[in-house]
Amino acid sequence: MFPTLTKEDIKCPGANENGADIKLLTLIARKLFPYNVECKNREEYRTIYKHFKQTKNHGPLEPLLVVKMNRKKPLVIIDMEHFFNLLEDN
């Protein structure tokens, strides 16, 4: 996806390291992928997946879920493959 990047540009930190789950070490990496990544795998997200599945049932367009809590900014959830396709298109 990013053929110009090398192992010197990106680092996956160890289990006890603080900060983002993907470390962008160079300016070029940060320009190509300007995101702070935090990865979670939790069973408690079951409801979010249920709601995302509901968006798929609305028709043939790409599903997009908006979630919001009181006094918090809305968040958008999209399929990760679709996210990477968006990056490639830009």
pLDDT in tens, 30-73: 999 999 999 999 999 999 999 999 999 999 999 999 999 999 99
| Model confidence band, residue 15 (pLDDT cutoffs 50, 70, 90) | confident
Provide the Cα torsion 19, 5, 7, 84; round to 10°: 60
Q: Where are the domains of the chain?
A: 1-39, 43-90
Is the pLDDT at 3 greater than 90? The verdict is: no
Confidence of residue 88 (pLDDT cuts 50, 70, 90): confident
pTM over 0.75: yes
* Residue 18 CA: distances (Å) to CA of 13, 15, 23: 8, 9, 10
- Lookup: tokens for 13: 């930190």
- Whether 89 has a pLDDT exceeding 90, the answer reads no
End-to-end CA distance of the chain: 12
pLDDT score at 90: 73
